[in-house]
Chain A
Amino acid sequence: MNLTLKVWRQRGPQDKGRMVTYRVEDVSPDMSFLEMLDVLNERLILEGDDPIAFDHDCREGICGMCGMVINGYAHGEQVATTTCQLHMRHFEDEAVITVEPWRAAPFPVVKDLVVDRSSFDRIIQAGGFISVPAGSAPDAHSVPVKKADADAAFDAATCIGCGACVAACPNGSASLFTAAKITHLSLLPQGQPERDSRARAMVEQMDAEGFGGCTNTGECTASCPKGIPLDTIAQMNRDYLRASK
């Protein structure tokens, strides 16, 4: 198949950036979206141009490094799929595809499609952990955990920290990401001692980073490659209220 790509190019944070059009031919439907970009980049390098910079690593949908807005959808239109797991068979021959970086003030563009998501790390730093120095843990079976709780904690813990939820949200809110971690830890007995301080600190850090507020539009869940459910946000709000009392 043959495609026309309109890709956001921006040399660096100071550059204003612009859309640039590329023609890509002989694309195999079995290629992943990133492999299609690899092929284009090989050509650009040989032509002496700068290849399109994009983040990626595992290419299996688990590291959370990849992410671009494709035709207006974070990670593309395919549900529950990261950019690296999106395949070209979902596009029509002669399609015109726009490719842009995540757009949110707390995710400044580094170059082209690469953004700085260190704000997510700082939200975790604020309290997204259980304080237990190595070597101090009791036997793993000393605290049984109900299977249902363990499963629900796991579901929330599958967040890959990609940032699609922020990119998809009209308010640029990081609520789904933050709530996923708060929910994971507050469902487990091990997470109880720090539950209040964690919720407070993480929510405050999220606000301090400049992420927007949640107005329940649900765009985050819809674009989340791991299907983190919206009710984690309700859990976060409950924990935050509880902590503020």
Chain B
Amino acid sequence: MGRHYTEGEPIRDTKAPAGPIEERWEKRKFGAKLVNPANKRKMHVIVVGTGLAGGSAAATLGELGYNVTSFCYQDSPRRAHSIAAQGGINAAKNYRGDGDSIYRLFYDTVKGGDFRARESNVYRLAQVSVNIIDQAVAQGVPFAREYGGLLDTRSFGGAQVSRTFYARGQTGQQLLLGAYQALERQIAAGTVKMNTRHEMLDLIVSDGRARGVIVRDMVTGEIERHLADAVVLATGGYGNVFFLSTNAKGCNTTAIWRAHRRGAMFANPCYTQIHPTCIPVSGDYQSKLTLMSESLRNDGRVWVPVKAGDTRPAAEIPEQERDYYLERIYPAFGNLVPRDIASRAAKNVCDEGRGVGPGGLGVYLDFADAISRLGRDAVEKKYGNLFEMYERITGEDPYSQPMRIYPAVHYTMGGLWVDYDLQSTIPGLFVVGEANFSDHGANRLGASALMQGLADGYFVLPTTIGDYLANGPYGEVDDEAVAEAEAAVQSKIERLLSVNGTRTADSYHRELGKLMWDYCGMERTEESLRKALERIPELREEFWRNVKVSGTADELNQALERAGRVADFFDLAELMCIDALHRTESCGGHFRAESQDADGEALRDDENFAYVAAWEYGEQGPVLHKEALEYEYVTMSQRSYK
């Protein structure tokens, strides 16, 4: 079997200004054309998504005076998946005087991303990070504080300074509510028109430019067309391609996948992050996985029995028959190794038959030592809410027996390709937040997604989109383009409803997810990926022949909603495997078993793979465009945590 793709022209210009890295964003801002305030009202921007990225973008564009229309699939913008983020948000405030700086945050992020992110973008992110905290505090976000009244911070994986701001275990919630409230203020002011329970199903491209969206009113089933001068996608990540993930149930790829089909390139789709500390699967009915904060690894010790197939309860396994494998293999970092390393180590011990709990897919996270060292009260103060959540879900008491944890899909670094202005390869289509690929390279550091979403939405996009709009107007929208997009949406819905087969969309989604997890999950090989690429088209074909969607198109129909999303996941899954197969190196979250060093650690191949893989949609298979990555400031090195 040969290659699944062809190669096109490389991408040469990402539009980042030249010159010293600290001056590039200033330069871009100054170079950006401004829209005459009197004209802003006449300029219409569509923002799809109301998470940290979309909520902050829509609110800010409204404040600036643009005419904004916003969409989300939930019943309120406040429910976007960003609400679930627990740990915190990074910012280079250096309030602790512990040696942090914009440069250090930049450096940590480039290194943490395993040298697969753009320096210019990451530097800007670090610069803007300080403004985010100011903005959030002014909005009333109740961050944790110290007795002196100043903001508290904590340290997070992959950093040696304390730069993570947090609001107990609910940082995402509080930041999102801040953005949501700013958005509601603009809705009241009439600058933003909000459409909840509306799902974007296609992008309208007229004369080569993004000019609107086709959405379905999820209550009435009506298919609506909305036109604009520019479109912003802020629709989040696609981790749910695996069916089981820590994402919310509705997270999907439909919006970005439809844009991809219309010409937006998709970058690094195979970069997925697997989080090491999640509650293991308990049965076939499992609908999602729950993350247990990474902070637990500060005091919990990870272990499995030394012997394979040891089914004794944890308490009956004596000390010398336990393998604290992270401490053993990584004496320097121990239980605190980065996410990708901890995840893979857990998989390895389970593959050896030493996993614990149902199906042998779990490892222990044990607090017995911490409890005897610090006392139960201290442990409860620190982790009480997490222990409670664990007990609620598993019915087990983590104070008296170790937690069982297992890795789960958590975040997708890949997404639509954007330039320095956050503009995709379709002019007028901007992409922000997890939906784009921009800043995290092959691995995202903890507490950096919230930072990126808000940097994009509050500070970067509002400037760069202004430049695009100031260069308009872009003329009338072609009626035929609108009608064609609308017809495509209608026909997909009719097709899904007419199959009338014997399996539900969810059952196909589960099977696809399992396949992706087994063949394109924590560890990938040429063999596994080729198998996946054989199996996905077969399964997709069966889906379109045999799926069963009950109900009608013109009512609230959750079976139909799901089927539409699953259909797009099939196509995305295929591209992910093609990307993973073509990248024969290991880097960050992408581990190719063929590319490891003598100790089993990920081995990069900078000579051949120091590029962003941007995929163009093609009827005859995807076309690869390479954007070379150059490192002027940070020297590329192999990561080591031993």
Q: Which residues of A contact B (CB under 8 A)?
A: 11-12, 28-32, 34-36, 38-39, 41-42, 44-46, 48-51, 53, 55-65, 81, 85, 87, 89, 110-111, 114, 116-118, 120-121, 124-126, 128-141, 143-147, 150-151, 153-154, 157-158, 160-161, 184-185, 188, 190-191
A residues near B551, Cβ cutoff 8 Å: 50-51
Contact call A128/B556, Cβ cutoff below 8 A: no
Contact call B555/A11, Cβ cutoff below 8 A: yes
Contact residues of B between 499 and 515, Cβ < 8 Å to A: 502-504, 506-507
A residues near B557, Cβ cutoff 8 Å: 50
A59 to B246, CA, bound (A): 9
A residues near B219, Cβ cutoff 8 Å: 110-111
- Pairs A–B under 8 Å by Cβ, sample size 19: A12-B556, A30-B282, A41-B559, A45-B548, A46-B503, A53-B556, A63-B74, A65-B74, A87-B395, A121-B78, A121-B187, A129-B139, A129-B185, A134-B63, A140-B137, A143-B137, A147-B146, A161-B78, A188-B140
Q: How far is the CB of A152 from chain B (nearest CB, A)?
A: 9
List 5 A-B pairs, minimum CB-CB distance, nearest first: A144-B149, A137-B138, A129-B181, A154-B142, A125-B188
A147 to B147, CA, bound (A): 5
- Confirm or deny: B405 has a beta carbon within 8 angstroms of a beta carbon on chain A: no
B residues near A117, Cβ cutoff 8 Å: 75-76
A12-B555 contact given A38-B287, A45-B549, CB 8 Å threshold? yes
B residues near A87, Cβ cutoff 8 Å: 392-393, 395
- Confirm or deny: B436 has a beta carbon within 8 angstroms of a beta carbon on chain A: no
Main secondary structure of the interface of A (DSSP, over half): loop
- Binary interface encoding of chain B residues 50-94 relative to chain A, with 1 for a CB under 8 A from any of its CBs, else 0: 000000100110010000000000111111010110000000010
Contact call A110/B167, Cβ cutoff below 8 A: no
Known pairs A63-B79, A128-B181, A140-B133 / 16 extra A-B pairs, C-beta < 8 Å: A28-B282, A30-B282, A45-B548, A50-B557, A130-B139, A130-B140, A132-B135, A132-B138, A135-B131, A137-B134, A140-B137, A143-B137, A151-B142, A161-B76, A188-B140, A190-B137
B residues near A58, Cβ cutoff 8 Å: 79, 81, 83-84, 248-249
B residues near A145, Cβ cutoff 8 Å: 145, 149
By beta carbon, the residue of chain B nearest A123 is B184
Contact residues of B between 513 and 565, Cβ < 8 Å to A: 548-551, 555-559
Chain A binder among B17-25, B169-177, B441-449: B169-177
By beta carbon, the residue of chain B nearest A52 is B558
B286's partner among A35, A61, A135 (CB-CB below 8 A) is A35
A140-B134 contact given A45-B504, A56-B249, CB 8 Å threshold? yes
- Binary interface encoding of chain B residues 123-158 relative to chain A, with 1 for a CB under 8 A from any of its CBs, else 0: 000000001011111111011111111110000000
A85 to B95, CA, bound (A): 38
Q: How far is the CB of A241 from chain B (nearest CB, A)?
A: 22
B504's partner among A42, A126, A146 (CB-CB below 8 A) is A42
- Confirm or deny: B290 has a beta carbon within 8 angstroms of a beta carbon on chain A: yes
Contact call B56/A134, Cβ cutoff below 8 A: yes
Contact call B504/A35, Cβ cutoff below 8 A: no
Contact call B76/A134, Cβ cutoff below 8 A: no
Contact call A45/B559, Cβ cutoff below 8 A: yes
Contact call A111/B555, Cβ cutoff below 8 A: yes
A residues near B285, Cβ cutoff 8 Å: 28, 31, 35-36, 38-39
Chain A CB count within 10 A is highest, among B63, B83, B187, for B83
A50-B550 contact given A34-B287, A129-B181, A153-B142, CB 8 Å threshold? yes
Contact call A154/B167, Cβ cutoff below 8 A: yes
A131 to B135, CA, bound (A): 11
Contact call B395/A135, Cβ cutoff below 8 A: no
Chain B CB count within 10 A is highest, among A12, A110, A114, A140, for A140
A5 to B290, CA, bound (A): 27
A110-B556 contact given A57-B74, A120-B76, CB 8 Å threshold? yes
By beta carbon, the residue of chain A nearest B165 is A140
By beta carbon, the residue of chain A nearest B503 is A46
B residues near A190, Cβ cutoff 8 Å: 137-140
B residues near A89, Cβ cutoff 8 Å: 395
A51 to B556, CA, bound (A): 10
Contact call B550/A51, Cβ cutoff below 8 A: yes
Q: How far is the CB of B164 from chain A (nearest CB, A)?
A: 14
By beta carbon, the residue of chain A nearest B388 is A80
Chain B CB count within 10 A is highest, among A45, A56, A151, A188, for A45
Q: How far is the CB of A69 from chain B (nearest CB, A)?
A: 17
- Confirm or deny: B196 has a beta carbon within 8 angstroms of a beta carbon on chain A: yes
Contact call B248/A63, Cβ cutoff below 8 A: yes
A133's partner among B63, B84, B93, B149 (CB-CB below 8 A) is B63
A138 to B135, CA, bound (A): 8
- Confirm or deny: B250 has a beta carbon within 8 angstroms of a beta carbon on chain A: yes
A57-B506 contact given A45-B549, A51-B558, A117-B76, CB 8 Å threshold? no
A212 to B302, CA, bound (A): 52
- Confirm or deny: B261 has a beta carbon within 8 angstroms of a beta carbon on chain A: no
Contact call B84/A60, Cβ cutoff below 8 A: yes
Contact call A46/B149, Cβ cutoff below 8 A: no
Contact residues of B between 390 and 410, Cβ < 8 Å to A: 392-395
B residues near A157, Cβ cutoff 8 Å: 142, 167, 174, 177
A147-B149 contact given A56-B249, A135-B459, CB 8 Å threshold? yes
A182 to B136, CA, bound (A): 17
By beta carbon, the residue of chain A nearest B247 is A58
Contact call B187/A150, Cβ cutoff below 8 A: no
A31 to B177, CA, bound (A): 30
- Confirm or deny: B283 has a beta carbon within 8 angstroms of a beta carbon on chain A: yes
- Confirm or deny: B288 has a beta carbon within 8 angstroms of a beta carbon on chain A: yes
B residues near A64, Cβ cutoff 8 Å: 76, 78-79, 83
A59's partner among B248, B459, B503, B549 (CB-CB below 8 A) is B248
Contact call B506/A38, Cβ cutoff below 8 A: yes
Q: How far is the CB of B505 from chain A (nearest CB, A)?
A: 8
A141's partner among B151, B181, B250 (CB-CB below 8 A) is B151
Contact call A139/B134, Cβ cutoff below 8 A: yes
Contact call B76/A121, Cβ cutoff below 8 A: yes
A161 to B79, CA, bound (A): 9
A135's partner among B135, B173, B559 (CB-CB below 8 A) is B135
Q: How far is the CB of A77 from chain B (nearest CB, A)?
A: 14
B residues near A137, Cβ cutoff 8 Å: 131, 134-135, 137-139
A110 to B221, CA, bound (A): 13
Contact call B184/A129, Cβ cutoff below 8 A: yes
Contact call B507/A32, Cβ cutoff below 8 A: no
By beta carbon, the residue of chain A nearest B141 is A157
A116 to B75, CA, bound (A): 7
- Binary interface encoding of chain B residues 280-322 relative to chain A, with 1 for a CB under 8 A from any of its CBs, else 0: 0011011110100000000000000000000000000000000
By beta carbon, the residue of chain A nearest B287 is A35
Contact call A85/B93, Cβ cutoff below 8 A: no
A59 to B392, CA, bound (A): 13
A226 to B290, CA, bound (A): 18
Q: How far is the CB of B11 from chain A (nearest CB, A)?
A: 30
Contact call A150/B506, Cβ cutoff below 8 A: no
A33 to B230, CA, bound (A): 42
Contact call A138/B185, Cβ cutoff below 8 A: no
B174's partner among A28, A51, A131, A154 (CB-CB below 8 A) is A154
- Confirm or deny: B470 has a beta carbon within 8 angstroms of a beta carbon on chain A: no
A29 to B490, CA, bound (A): 41
A residues near B93, Cβ cutoff 8 Å: 140
- Confirm or deny: B433 has a beta carbon within 8 angstroms of a beta carbon on chain A: no
